[in-house]
Structure 1
Amino acid sequence: MKRKIIIEIISSLLILLFLYASVSKWLAFKTFIGEMNNQPFPNWMTPYLVWGIPIIEVLISIGLMFEKTRVSALYASFVLMTAFTIYTVAILLHAFDYVPCSCGGVIRKLTWPQHLFFNLFFVVISLLGIWLKKREPVEAVRTAGA
């Protein structure tokens, strides 16, 4: 029972993060496009990124809401947050000629080291969620999915 509550908390935190991030991008869409054009990626990628990232965040959130798709969504959360974390580390290591930012809302207020710890927290809880889901008794998984 305790495991299930922890998994629900982890899923809820990730849902809040990804829904908040996607909505903040869409609410300031022109700003988001401009910031994506300021990234160290070729500008031809911008249309794919400005639509793809928020849509992926919403899809992950939806996947986290359902028992049948939760493990896949936890893996997707882990991959996406790991990618964001690697990007943050690259910024902290001065891998780019300038410091880009496309963070929205209150996340924009974080310093890059704070951003790194923020991202690492979500990487770790994604991994913890995966680990806890994999350790669930088979019977609990069968009855939860029915």
Structure 2
Amino acid sequence: MKRKIIIEIISSLLILLFLYASVSKWLAFRTFIGDMNNQPFPNWMTPYLVWSIPFIEVLIAIGLIFEKTRVPALYASLVLMMAFTIYTVAVLCHAFLYIPCSCGGVIKKLTWPQHLVFNLFFVGISILGIWLKKREPVAAVRAVEA
């Protein structure tokens, strides 16, 4: 029972993160586009990134809601947060000349070291969620599915 509560808390935190991030990007869409154009990626990628990133964040959040899609969504959370974390590490290692933050809302106000801690927290809880789901008794999983 305790495991289920922890999994629910982890899923809820990730849902809040991804919904908040995607909605704040859409609410300040022009700013988000400008920030993405200033990233160290080629500008031809901007149209794909500005539509796909918020969309993927929403898909992951929806996947985390449902028991049948929770494990794939936890893996997707891990992959996305790892990508953001690798980018943050590259920024902190001065790999880029100009480093705008294309995050949305209050997350944009974080310093790069704070971004790293923030991202590592969500990487960690994604890993914990995956681990807890994999250790769930099979009978409990079947009971939920029925």
Please tell me the TM-score bracket, short chain as reference: over 0.9
Give the match for residue 2 of structure 2. 2
Distance in 2 separating the partners of 1:110 and 1:9: 23
Instruction: Name the Cα RMSD after superposition.
Output: 0.5
> Which runs of structure 2 are paired with 1:82-93 in the superposition (5 Å)?
82-93=82-93
> Percent same amino acid at aligned positions?
86
> Which runs of structure 2 are paired with 1:1-146 in the superposition (5 Å)?
1-146=1-146
- TM-score by length of structure 2 reads 0.99
Distance in 2 separating the partners of 1:142 and 1:40: 47
- TM-score by length of structure 1 reads 0.99
Post-superposition Cα deviations, 1:88-144, rounded to whole Å, max 9, x if no partner, equal: 000000000112211111111111000000000000000000000000000001111
Post-superposition Cα deviations, 1:49-70, rounded to whole Å, max 9, x if no partner, equal: 0000000000000000000000
1:23 to partner: Cα distance: 0.0
CA contact (8 A) 2:64 2:70 kept: yes
CA contact (8 A) 2:38 2:100 kept: yes
Q: Deviation above 6 Å: which 4+ runs of structure 1?
A: none
Residues paired across the two proteins, number: 146
Post-superposition Cα deviations, 1:31-62, rounded to whole Å, max 9, x if no partner, equal: 00000000000001001000000000000000
Which runs of 5 or more structure 1 residues have no equivalent in the other structure?
A: none
Letter in 1 for 2:143: T
1:71 to partner: Cα distance: 0.1
Distance in 2 separating the partners of 1:98 and 1:29: 21
Letter in 1 for 2:10: I
